[in-house]
């Protein structure tokens, strides 16, 4: 290198131009003699060293400047090496602590200075501040490290291939998932190479296909898929692959074996629950049948005896039989209602209902029960009620009868009161309250919510002392909610209880004063109404139970009907055919649905298939949801459940035989 003029002042145009160039270039420049004593520098070096001007550096060494002893030793060693070897030392990355204490990264190059004869007379240094670049590099390294840590930490296998299907990267989870292939997972290997080698180690996973075919299918059909499950021995892997913008592929492979096992267990538990529910439904259907069938005979024959002018002591016994039999039927109805609630099949059929008439009807029934127990029963309507509400009259009646019945049952002295009022005096009130209050035994505060649970009562002794299965309140609350309201309870032990039923009121309700309404005429007792007549009618009774067959025959004959009977569906088909052949066809068929040999469903279907047009009334002890629909679908015209009261039976038969 040619000798660089060394001067500490700028004399002449040549010196001024050199000084200007040195100050303008974006590098730090300095030069030293053979002893590493500074001979000159540019202004960037002045700023770095904290000096006032380039002239201030002349005569100083690195030890006189603000860098550390270690840094000065390193700089002097580099100077000596360059001057001794006569060769340049380029792009040395080093640091220094400048005048303001800031650590600075430098990219330094040093070249020997020579005189006109070519002798080394010093060293020229030039360096660039690369602190920003080093900081950016460090941030990039930290970011990359964080990313790698995150990739390794995720609980899924991550794999990356380039556009030529060659492996770029895979994390440890991916290596664990494909443990047999782990030595093959080398960057640069193609997917097909990895799979082919893998097939040699685990041929059982290819299911009889060649590695090449399997790889081709994998690439063609499943490479770019959102979800694809594949089996690796005892493990199930969920694969999600997507193509990147540069044509490469990123795959996420998750071991879902545990989730699949859990799903399998859940499905099995669901199947078991469904099977258990079906078994319970079948059990309840059979229970209903087994109770209703003998109960039909008990209630029916007790009714016949009650109508045969028994002695007073006999009448009392008959009433006891009927009361307890009715209680058993109420219990089985509650159990069936609870079953419908559990499977979501309990329905309400709403329409306009006059609450005043409904409550007066209920009061007539419940007053008799209260008086029989020596209690006073009061009804308070207030001065304002809606003329109609949209409700299911049967279900609302069931709720109120249950609440009032409980109040009477748990009250020994005092009174039971039913109050019906709007929830507020506002004419825009949207809620009607039915409040049942008693002076009975009360309920402890901690038991108030328990009484709304199925089969629960306030305490264990309640069932023993008062009876009941603890179903009524649970069913009533569910019904109240189906009707758009609810039931709340308030009580103290020994101080009576208050149950309040809320029910929505139509938006445009017509409010009336129920006290000004004329009392409804008392209903005509059923016994005073004449029984329907079946005089001259011929009825085929198909019933396998001898007790019920005898009872139903008496009911029908008491109305003037001629009765023929069959004990199963086979005899029913024969009887219908014989009567048609004799020219004395039946007017109606009363068909039991549960019979041996040929049941009522199949018998009815066969009769309809033969063109039989006779009215067929189903008679069954099954009263579950869907039983009526099943009978109608089989071809029956109507449906009665056991035990069927005499009047109801005759009314239904008469309604059908009276039709053209």
DSSP conformation letters of 363-395: HHHHHHHHHHTT-EEEEE--S-EES-EEE-HHH
Q: Distance between alpha carbon 7 and the CA centroid of its chain, in Å?
A: 88
Token digits for 400? 């109120």
pLDDT of residue 177: 80
Q: Which of 146-160, 268-282, 538-552, 614-628 has the highest mean pLDDT?
A: 538-552
Topology given in CATH for the domain delimited by 263-342: Helix Hairpins (1.10.287)
Which residues are paired to 389 by β-bridges?
Answer: 353
Is the pLDDT at 206 greater than 60? The verdict is: no
Is the pLDDT at 81 greater than 80? The verdict is: yes
- The larger pLDDT score, comparing residue 19 to residue 528, is at 19
For 159-163, 258-262, 288-292, 633-637, which range has the lowest pLDDT when averaged over its residues?
288-292
DSSP per position, 185-212: --TT-BHHHHHHHHHHH-GGGGTT--HH
Looking at the structure, give the CATH architecture of the domain made up of residues 531-657.
Answer: 3-Layer(aba) Sandwich (3.40)
Is the pLDDT at 89 greater than 70? The verdict is: yes
Token digits for 506? 């139509």
- The larger pLDDT score, comparing residue 616 to residue 192, is at 616
Is the pLDDT at 618 greater than 80? The verdict is: yes
* Nearest in space to 45 (alpha carbons), one of 124, 154, 163, 161: 124
- The larger pLDDT score, comparing residue 336 to residue 604, is at 604
The verdict on whether omega for the bond into residue 314 sits within 30 degrees of 0, i.e. cis, is: no
* Triad 173, 175, 180: Cα angle to 5°: 135
- The larger pLDDT score, comparing residue 9 to residue 31, is at 31
Write out 227-292 in H/E/C secondary structure: CEEEEECCEEEEEEEEECCCCCEEEEEEECHHHHHHHHHHHHHHHHHHHHHHHHHHHHHHHHHHHH
Measured between alpha carbons, how far is 589 from 592 in angstroms, rounded to an integer?
10
8-state DSSP, 516? G
| Helix ranges, 381-539 (H) | 393-409, 460-466, 472-482
pLDDT of residue 12: 53
pLDDT of residue 569: 92
For 205-214, 305-314, 453-462, which range has the lowest pLDDT when averaged over its residues?
205-214
572, 589 contact by CB (below 8 A): yes
pLDDT of residue 32: 94
For 216-225, 410-419, 477-486, which range has the lowest pLDDT when averaged over its residues?
216-225
Is the pLDDT at 306 greater than 50? The verdict is: yes
For 248-257, 289-298, 369-378, 441-450, which range has the lowest pLDDT when averaged over its residues?
289-298
Topology given in CATH for the domain delimited by 12-135: Beta-Lactamase (3.30.450)
Check for a shared fold between 12-135 and 154-255. Answer: yes
pLDDT of residue 96: 78
Measured between alpha carbons, how far is 290 from 547 in angstroms, rounded to an integer?
14
pLDDT of residue 8: 44
Is the pLDDT at 449 greater than 80? The verdict is: no
pLDDT of residue 452: 76
Topology given in CATH for the domain delimited by 154-255: Beta-Lactamase (3.30.450)
Mean of the pLDDT values across residues 66-93?
A: 90
CB neighbourhood size of 40 (10 A): 23
Mean of the pLDDT values across residues 17-42?
A: 89
437, 498 contact by CB (below 8 A): yes
pLDDT tens sequence across 315-356 = 777 777 777 777 676 666 666 666 666 666 667 788 899 999
Contacts of 595 (CB under 8 A, 6+ apart): 542, 543, 544, 567, 568, 569, 603
pLDDT of residue 122: 94
- The larger pLDDT score, comparing residue 159 to residue 515, is at 159
CB neighbourhood size of 556 (10 A): 23
CB neighbourhood size of 157 (10 A): 21
pLDDT tens sequence across 363-387 = 888 888 888 888 999 998 888 888 8
SS3 167: strand
Mean of the pLDDT values across residues 462-471?
A: 51
Residue 34 host element (H or E): none
250, 244 contact by CB (below 8 A): yes
Token digits for 135? 């900081």
CB neighbourhood size of 629 (10 A): 10
Topology given in CATH for the domain delimited by 351-519: Heat Shock Protein 90 (3.30.565)
Phi, psi of 157 (to 5 degrees): -85, 125
* Nearest in space to 531 (alpha carbons), one of 350, 303, 375, 379: 303
Token digits for 87? 């060769």
Phi, psi of 66 (to 5 degrees): -75, 10
Measured between alpha carbons, how far is 559 from 405 in angstroms, rounded to an integer?
35
For 385-399, 501-515, 614-628, which range has the lowest pLDDT when averaged over its residues?
614-628
Is the pLDDT at 607 greater than 90? The verdict is: yes
Buried b (16+ CB within 10 A) or exposed e, 342-369: eeeebeeeeeebbbbebbbbbbeebbeb
β-strands 228-232, 235-243 pairing: antiparallel
Mean of the pLDDT values across residues 255-271?
A: 85
Residue 255 host element (H or E): strand 249-255
98, 106 contact by CB (below 8 A): no
pLDDT tens sequence across 99-129 = 667 778 888 999 999 999 899 999 999 988 8
Q: What is the mean pLDDT of the chain?
A: 81
Q: Which of 242-256, 322-336, 536-550 has the highest mean pLDDT?
A: 536-550
Domain boundaries, the chain: 12-135, 154-255, 263-342, 351-519, 531-657
């Amino acid at each position: 290198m040619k000798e660089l003029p060394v001067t500490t002042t700028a004399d002449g145009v040549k010196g001024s131009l050199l000084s200007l160039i040195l100050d303008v270039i974006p590098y730090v420049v300095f030069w030293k003699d053979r002893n590493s004593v500074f001979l000159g520098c540019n202004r960037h070096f002045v700023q770095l060293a904290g000096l006032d001007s380039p002239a201030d550096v002349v005569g100083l060494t690195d030890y006189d400047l603000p860098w550390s002893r270690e840094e000065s030793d390193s700089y002097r060693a580099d100077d000596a090496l360059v001057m001794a070897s006569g060769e340049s030392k380029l792009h040395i990355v080093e640091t220094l602590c400048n005048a303001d204490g800031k650590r600075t990264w430098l990219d330094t190059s040093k070249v020997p200075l020579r005189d006109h004869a070519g002798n080394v007379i010093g060293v020229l240094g030039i360096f660039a501040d690369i602190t920003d670049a080093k900081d950016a590099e460090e941030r990039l390294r930290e970011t990359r490290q964080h990313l790698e840590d995150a990739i390794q930490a995720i609980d899924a296998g991550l794999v990356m291939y380039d556009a030529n299907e060659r492996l770029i990267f895979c994390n440890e989870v991916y290596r664990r998932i494909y443990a047999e292939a782990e030595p093959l997972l080398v960057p640069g290997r193609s997917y097909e190479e990895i799979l082919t080698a893998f097939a040699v180690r685990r041929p059982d996973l290819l299911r009889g296909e060649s590695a090449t075919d399997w790889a081709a299918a994998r690439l063609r059909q499943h490479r770019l898929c959102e979800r694809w499950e594949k089996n690796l021995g005892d493990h199930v892997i969920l694969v999600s692959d997507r193509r990147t913008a540069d044509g490469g592929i990123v795959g996420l492979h998750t071991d879902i074996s545990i989730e699949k096992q859990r799903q399998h267990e859940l499905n099995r538990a669901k199947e078991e629950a469904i099977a258990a529910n079906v078994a319970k439904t079948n059990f309840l259907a059979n229970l209903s049948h087994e109770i209703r069938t003998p109960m039909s005979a008990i209630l029916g024959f007790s009714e016949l005896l009650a109508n045969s002018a028994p002695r007073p002591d006999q009448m009392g016994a008959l009433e006891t039989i009927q009361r307890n039999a009715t209680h058993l039927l109420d219990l089985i109805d509650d159990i069936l209602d609870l079953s419908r609630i559990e499977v979501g099949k309990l329905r309400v059929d709403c329409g306009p209902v006059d609450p005043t008439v409904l409550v007066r009807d209920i009061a007539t029934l419940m007053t008799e029960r209260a008086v029989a127990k020596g209690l006073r029963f009061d009804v308070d309507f207030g001065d304002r009620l809606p003329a109609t509400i949209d409700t299911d009259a049967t279900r609302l009646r069931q709720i109120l009868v249950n609440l009032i019945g409980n109040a009477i049952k748990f009250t020994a002295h005092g009174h039971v009161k039913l109050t019906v009022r709007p929830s507020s005096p506002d004419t825009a009130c949207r809620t009607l309250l039915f409040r049942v209050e008693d002076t009975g035994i009360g309920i402890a505060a901690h038991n108030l919510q328990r009484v709304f649970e199925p089969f629960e009562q306030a305490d264990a002794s309640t069932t023993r002392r008062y009876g009941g299965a603890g179903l009524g309140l649970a069913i009533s609350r569910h019904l109240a909610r189906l009707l758009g309201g609810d039931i709340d309870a308030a009580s103290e032990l020994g101080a009576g209880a208050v149950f309040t039923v809320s029910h929505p009121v139509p938006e445009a309700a017509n409010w009336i004063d129920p006290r000004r309404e004329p009392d409804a005429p008392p209903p005509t007792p059923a016994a005073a109404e004449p029984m329907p007549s079946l005089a001259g009618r011929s009825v085929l009774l198909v019933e396998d139970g001898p007790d019920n067959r005898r009872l139903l025959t008496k009911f029908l004959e008491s109305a003037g009907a001629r009765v023929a009977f069959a004990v199963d569906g086979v005899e029913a088909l024969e009887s219908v055919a014989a009567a048609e052949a004799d020219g004395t066809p039946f007017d109606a068929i009363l068909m039991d649905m549960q019979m041996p040999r040929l049941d009522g469903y199949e018998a009815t279907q066969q009769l309809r298939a033969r063109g039989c047009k006779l009215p067929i009334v189903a008679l069954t002890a099954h009263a579950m949801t869907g039983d009526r629909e099943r009978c109608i679908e089989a071809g029956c015209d109507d449906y009665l459940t056991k035990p069927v009261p005499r009047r109801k039976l005759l009314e239904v038969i008469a309604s059908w035989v009276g039709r053209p």
